[in-house]
Amino acid sequence: YHKSGDTLAVGSQNGSLYLYKSTREGLVYTRFSKMKGEQPLSAIDWSESGKFLQTVTSDYDLTFWSLRTLSSVSDDADVQDELWVTQTCPLGYYVHGIWAGRKDSPIQVTV
């Protein structure tokens, strides 16, 4: 959920992010957008500003999404200084350095 509680982001096994508006105190959800990805999603975080989402796929690819353009962010530097409400994604700027950078590195599940 966005910190205001009125928008829900749902990650799916088909790699897409679905955005829903919540009304009537959470009793009614209406899908208003879909952002297409390619790999199953395992974690999602909202930015403090509510302008971005970050996701990690089951293959440990980190993707940033713009809610203004409803697409992935092409330049990660655009979100480098963004503050995140949570950090459930095991990859990202906040956790930079915990990965050894090799394919045989231990897998970090959460931070």
Summarised one tens digit per residue, pLDDT across range 32-91 is 999 998 899 999 999 999 999 999 998 888 999 999 999 999 998 889 889 999 888 887
CB 52 within 8 A of CB 67: yes
Count of domains forming the chain = 1
Q: What domain range is 75 assigned to?
A: 1-110
Kindly indicate the confidence band of residue 26, based on its pLDDT and cuts at 50, 70 and 90. confident
pLDDT given at position 4? 84
Bridge partners for 10 per DSSP: 18
pTM for the model:
0.81
**φ, ψ for residue 32 (rounded to 5)?**
-120, -10
